[in-house]
Amino acid sequence: MRRIVILISGRGSNMRAIIRAAQNEEWPAQIAAVISNKADASGLAYAAEHGIPALVVANKDYPSREAFDAALQSKIDSFVPDLVVLAGFMRVLTTPFVAHYAGRMLNIHPSLLPSFVGLATHRQALAAGVKLHGATVHFVTAELDHGPIVAQAAVPVEADDTEATLAARVLEQEHIIYPRAIRWFVDGRLSVQDGMVRISQEA
Ligand code: GRF
């Protein structure tokens, strides 16, 4: 069984989609823990209800980014994960933290990377007038919202879209591509060469 630790900051809808897929598809993997940097993250209750250890490591309790990341790392590592999944985890991570999980940490970003890094991606997309927008699952590297791309999904941008309607359309796709990408990792189908992800055929 592969062991997965999921990091969240809030609602945790991607986390729910991952927990659901792991159960329904009977992944050879266990969600070993869900950790939030915010005590009021609503996703924590869902994890706990599903018998998954749900913990808080609150960044506000630490004097620096380095101190927080060190505490978070030791909490994550106490669950001995094969994979760390960032699911709406709203923190910029330090380089040593990212290096420690090189090749075994995934993130989902709500844009078609490399377009629209950072925050307010749906607003950025509307302002740019793009006709397609979407989401990207990628391995985490030191540069924010960069890193080898595992999966993407595109959605149309409609003339009357608001940030909220566009976000909802993208989120629906996030809930499909993130569990799928994690499943590929669990099944040992992902490899990275020269910054590119290869997905091997199903065994
Ligand atoms: C998602 O849009 C994700 O791509 C972004 O933050 C949002 C988190 O939503 N990084 P949720 O907590 O998974 O519902």
Task: Enter the tokens of residue 42.
Answer: 């609503």
pLDDT tens digits along 22-41: 999 999 999 999 999 999 99
Ligand 1 nearest atom to the CA of residue 89, by list position: 10
65-102: per-residue pLDDT in tens?
Answer: 999 999 999 999 999 999 999 999 999 999 999 999 99
How many Cβ atoms are within 10 Å of 202's Cβ, its own excluded?
7
CA–CA gap between residue 197 and residue 151 (Å, rounded): 9
The answer for residues whose C-beta is within 8 angstroms of residue 30's C-beta and 6 or more apart is 1, 2, 3, 4, 22
Distance 203 CA to ligand 1 centre (A): 31
pTM given for the model: 0.97
Residue from 50, 100, 109, 133 carrying the catalytic annotation: 109
d(CA 97, CA 80): 15
